[in-house]
Chain A
């Protein structure tokens, strides 16, 4: 998504300060030299003193618009920004969105939630589970070519064999 154009001697340091990941295909050029801007890209020319602000701007660019989903639990209806969900899971034909210490019941089907979150780095790992890539803590390889995803809340989600290829593809940037 990003291309950082600064002096080679400072490249690594500024990249770390901006928490910026560069990709071969990019839409944004981030530079401290206005002569290095690229005409066909979105260019961000920054002053070194403004790096914290630039970093916040990059957050905004990456995350895009906030998307709130409405679900409910025993305390009533809740509206939660989608990136707070660890995963969505189907149990007894009900769809739940799992948060850190609670979960919300949704009236949507899982595939409907998947369509809503397709640009938010959620990935289907089985017929019954949709996982937030940002909430995966560790990927374990297990027998039968399956994967176990250890989520940051300690839960496990299994990557089914038929979803394995898509899951691996989703990890590539």
Chain B
């Protein structure tokens, strides 16, 4: 009723429709009566009358009565339905005018429609030359090899590498340390763990007499040939000195650099990504660098090809925006290549406020390729060995929304999935699909037998009038969609999860998907996708707390990292192992709970960053960072370390140690990563690399101070 009061036009249309239907109804009734009398009369006249035409006539009248209802119903359905599928039409772009037209058209549609804003992630970068500082262990023999038994980055897809902040190749440990990459000699076959020594620091800095710059390092890759450093440059905000000696903005400049001053708190981020490549077979000499336009969305590496996805925002709000200035580009081998308008595509429904660009860098040949899509950047990246999938938002416009004056449209989150095919170092836009809801993270997706499977949660929200305060309408759906090679939805599961529960984690393993939803309890679902046309829920388990990350432990068990405590709440770290041998009846095989201290709290980055989790089935090892603040004697104390657990398919989980770098010190030493080489555990903190053994994790046998 409130809707009708707020929308007099809709009320008027409704009343007109009702009146029309009433009129037609009376007309039908009269006709039926008159013709009935006619038949009786003709019967009395002993005239044989075939009863023809009346059905058609009544059908026609009924259709006329219902036609406006159908038209309005269709219009409202188009305007408010969340199940309507867009055309997803792909537009070719030929010049900047095409882009401006697309943008203007989109803005016009947006003005009649409430939508969520896009997701943007900003990274930074700029120029700088690396500098080396070498401090070798005195006894190190450069021919002494490392080990083949070491922990690689915990990736989602075998063969598709993901960058990380600490990596190892069995000999060195590479870690991001501020604006530097620290290369630490960690293990050699001759010296084993005694080899631990500072090796090279790769620094990125500028001359003192100019405005300082820095390098935000996003991540590292390592393989048999290359060390790849990816980051974004930034520079401080500098201005010329006031000749009178006063401060131009009233703030105290912290630094005085000759003729200029700068404010450390103000940083200007660049809008490009820089990639440095070093030859590990030639003592880490820089062999290539690339510059790529845009802010970093994500990267992957397959063999010697590096894939980078960036987003470049186009400032359409500027009156004199020249799109030529914002066209994506890359610089490889000192040659700048800018995208042509003809190479850019636009998919209807996506927000045309930026360029999303997919780059492929061929590290062997120092070449690059790019594929440009006009559209809002995605927020989740999944890369298989054959395709890149970028998940973003797509909007749907009700054609009659303006006319109907809909003030409270059901806002919807559609997941648009851009698929870019990988052929070595060549990329090609393949297709785009759309499903309801939002995808939680990269583990929400998986490619299997040419089909993409994606888990989404759809939350229906509505907005109060005037103040736009959002509230839950209570309608939450969790589904798995299966899309074929052309990104057409070929099947979807029934909704799973209890009312109001949303997906907290998921993991596809072959023909099965394991999903955890949560609101009050943690149902763990097993979805059978062996028939991609008919995915079904096979099993379900309900336990307190919830897992925010799932990882298979072989074929029989699923490891869950998440939240739970001994009183049934979520005030602690919970590590679960689900037994999924019986797909119909999964069971909780074992669990370990680390309650937070009273009045304290804790966290493990492994609950949301899978690369901080170390799992080695062959060594029976599970390890992850865990930091807690606890309160006692009126003081908070900070304990940070690596939890080391043992896993055995028979005995289950057991706690094996908690590796800390400093205890009871005033300084907060944050231990954030663990790697193994052979049977040595290397833990990395913001201050040290320390070594212990798998047999006795808490006993430090060697250490290196990174601050020295």
Contacts and interface: CB of A to CB of B under 8 A. Distances in A.
B44 to A, nearest CB: 4
B31 interface: yes
A59 B46 CA distance: 7
A147 B34 contact: yes
B57 A138 contact: yes
A172 B44 CA distance: 10
B45 A171 contact: no
Nearest to A140: B31
B330 to A, nearest CB: 72
A138 B45 contact: no
A133 B45 contact: yes
A172 B53 CA distance: 22
Contacts of A58: 46
Interface in A40-73: 58-59, 62-63
Interface string B32-76: 001101101111111110001110010000000000000000000
Interface string A18-57: 0101010000000000000000000000000000000000
Contact of B38 (A19, A63, A139): A139
A133 B42 CA distance: 7
Contacts of B54: 138
Nearest to A58: B46
Nearest to B45: A134
B38 A171 contact: yes
Contact of B40 (A21, A59, A147): A21
B336 interface: no
A173 interface: yes
Contacts of A6: none
Interface in B608-642: none
A90 to B, nearest CB: 24
A139 B44 CA distance: 18
Given A137-B53, A138-B57, A139-B31, A173 B38 contact: no
Contacts of B52: 137
Given A139-B35, A168-B34, A63 B46 contact: yes
A58 B45 CA distance: 10
A173 B37 CA distance: 9
Contacts of A134: 42, 45, 47
Nearest to A143: B27
Given A19-B46, A58-B46, A141 B38 contact: no
Given A138-B53, A138-B54, A1 B44 contact: yes
B430 interface: no
A63 B42 CA distance: 12
Contact of B37 (A1, A21, A172): A172
Given A136-B38, A173-B40, A141 B45 contact: no
Contacts of A59: 46
B121 interface: no
Contacts of A170: 41
A139 B43 contact: no
A140 B31 CA distance: 6
A150 B53 CA distance: 11
B30 interface: yes
Nearest to A60: B46
Interface string B7-49: 0000000000000000000010011001101101111111110
A166 to B, nearest CB: 14
A121 interface: yes
Given A59-B46, A63-B46, A138 B37 contact: no
Contact of A141 (B34, B37, B46, B53): B34
B31 A133 contact: no
B25 to A, nearest CB: 12
Contact of B41 (A19, A140, A147, A173): A173
Contacts of B42: 133-134, 136
Kindly name the residue among B42, B43, B46 whose own CB sees the greatest number of chain A CB atoms within 10 A: B46
B145 to A, nearest CB: 99
B29 to A, nearest CB: 9
A3 to B, nearest CB: 13
Nearest to B56: A138
Highest count of chain A CB atoms <10 Å: which of B34, B40, B53: B34
Contacts of B40: 21, 171, 173
B57 to A, nearest CB: 7
- Listed from nearest, the 4 A-B pairs whose CB atoms lie closest are A171-B37, A21-B44, A139-B34, A173-B44
Interface of A: 1, 19, 21, 23, 58-59, 62-63, 121, 133-134, 136-141, 147, 150, 168, 170-173
8 contacts: A21-B40, A62-B46, A121-B45, A133-B45, A138-B53, A140-B31, A171-B37, A172-B41
Interface of B: 27, 30-31, 34-35, 37-38, 40-48, 52-54, 57
